[in-house]
Structure 1
Amino acid sequence: MISSRRRVCLYFGSFNPLHRAHLHLAQFALDSLPCDEVWLVLSPLNPLKDRTTQLPFAWRADYIRRAIQGEPRLRLITLEELLPLPHYTVRSIRALRLLYPEYDFSLLIGSDNLRLIDRWYDYQRLLRIIPLHVYPRPGYPLEDIDPAALPEAMLHLHPEAPQMDLAATELREAALSGEDRSAETAVPELWEELRAQLLSLQS
């Protein structure tokens, strides 16, 4: 019997801001993984980090909505803003499962984060409850991952996934310096608005 349950890949990130590489990876998941939808789970930023680089949560959420309008298989999730601190991925996934019991979830994760997963809160439970689709990150080749080292994990390695070779930090720095890298963002027409937001954080 074929299951009618929707399959969702969860893609967590601060998306500060969302850019083309994020969207390329989400599109790869839709095209190539057992995935009917990709949910962009927007994370509040670390309060200990430099506030002059942290775009407001509401602004980032609106930016993502603009970027994904017209693509019904991409969905913004702002749940973490409502959850009590501290935010942990395993807790957010548990909350999503309670809210959306009709969906089957998997997790998109970079090879850099997988390398450090033993530092995550309750990581062993996380590995047991959700399949992980691992995409390559510069400096962290998938060939270095030994699935036997994480026997409880449901690991799926995807060397064919697009390389995430663009960092949001680069785009923020370019915007502040006056360089035009709007074509690399998720919403090029909002480049000047992005720049204005960043400049307002500097004052």
Structure 2
Amino acid sequence: MTHVGILGGSFNPAHRGHRSITLAAIDVLALDEAWWLVSPGNPLKDAANDMAPLPARLASARAMARRAPIRATDIEARLHTRYTLDTIRKLKRRYPKIRFIWLM
């Protein structure tokens, strides 16, 4: 079974702190890789005033993840989920052979 760490966030923008904690988690938890779930919108923030557009945040995350076992993805937008619990449920159904580990 593949072990994948999940780090969700706005990534507004992605920064070295995201990368550092993710690489540490990959090492300590012996993960195969980590996915950064770049949120299409935070239900607790006013997107119009607080966040860059999703494509810009995704590009920032992909640039920060370069040359590391980190995949930045907009899968929450494609799954049409807004809350973590809904996202995890859909990921587990879509990828039954992956064991997801939530990173905080």
* TM-score (normalised: structure 1): 0.47
Considering Cα pairs closer than 8 Å and 6+ residues apart, tell me whether 1 or 2 has the greater RCO.
2
- Alignment equivalent of 1:102, drawn from 91, 97, 104: 97
- Alignment equivalent of 2:48, drawn from 30, 46, 51: 51
Deviations for 1:122-168, whole angstroms, at most 9, x for unmatched residues? xxxxxxxxxxxxxxxxxxxxxxxxxxxxxxxxxxxxxxxxxxxxxxx
Cα separation, 1, equivalents of 2:34 and 2:93: 18
Cα RMSD, aligned residues only: 1.7
Cα separation, 1, equivalents of 2:99 and 2:29: 13
Deviation, 1:77, is 2.2
Structure 1 runs, 4 residues or longer, greater than 3 Å off: none
Q: Percent identity?
A: 33
Q: Which runs of 5+ in 1 are unaligned?
A: 110-203
- Check conservation: 2:10, 2:42, Cα contact below 8 A: no
Instruction: Give 1:18's aligned amino acid.
Output: A
Match of 1:17 in 2: 13
Match of 1:65 in 2: 62
Query: Larger % of strand: which?
Result: 2
Q: Which runs of 5+ in 2 are unaligned?
A: none
Match of 2:46, SS? coil
Rg (Cα) greater in structure: 1
